[in-house]
Amino acid sequence: MLARFESEEIHTTKIEVDLNPIIQYCIHRLNEQTSDKGIIINFDDSSKADVFADPSLLEIIFENLLTNAVKYSNGGSQIDVFLDQSGEEVKCSIRDYGIGMKPEQIMRVFDRFYRSEEARSTEARGHGIGMAIVKRLADFQNIEVVYKSEISKGTTATLIFKQK
């Protein structure tokens, strides 16, 4: 999939879209993984945030971020998803209380094939491609992706939609 996004032009249809149903749908699709690990995803389903973007690309972005949050969480923990719309700026944060990352690992999150030592030593499988895709799709739509993380404490990934 990454190859497709790298070699081909991305064709998008930007429309005004509410992030809420997209997030709910992605959370719903993760039901099996979350119940297997006893993880609860907290999301205020009355929250709303309109952005100007391509809904199918947003779905890929949220699916990857939420899947990572679940994969790199400890069993029995929670994940908090926040939507925040203030004026023209929309922010969405996905916070987990999992394995976390060191500063030098955060710097490499978007590198293709990168997986931290801690990630590799979990049961979670992966190829280190998801975040490279997310970065490309986010750049393309003018969405900033910011990571805050502390090793063994958890990670917050924030999407900042810079223009409507």
Structure tokens at 130: 């998801």
Cβ atoms 32, 46 nearer than 8 A: no
Alpha helix positions (H), 95-143: 103-106, 117-120, 130-140
Work out what residue 62 binds among Mg ion, ligand ADP, none; the CB cut-off runs from 5 to 8 Å by kind: none
Q: Which residues are at the interface with Mg ion (CB under 5 A)?
A: 68, 130
**Sign of CA pseudo-dihedral 144, 145, 150, 155:** positive
Per CB under 6 A, 30 contacts ligand ADP: no
Within 87-146, the residues that bind ligand ADP by CB under 6 A are: 96, 98-101, 109, 114-116, 119, 126-132
Q: What CA–CA distance (Å, rounded) separates 98 from 77? A: 8
Residue 127 beta carbon to Mg ion: minimum distance, rounded to whole angstroms: 8
Contact residues toward ligand ADP (CB under 6 A) are 64, 68-69, 71-72, 96, 98-101, 109, 114-116, 119, 126-132, 155
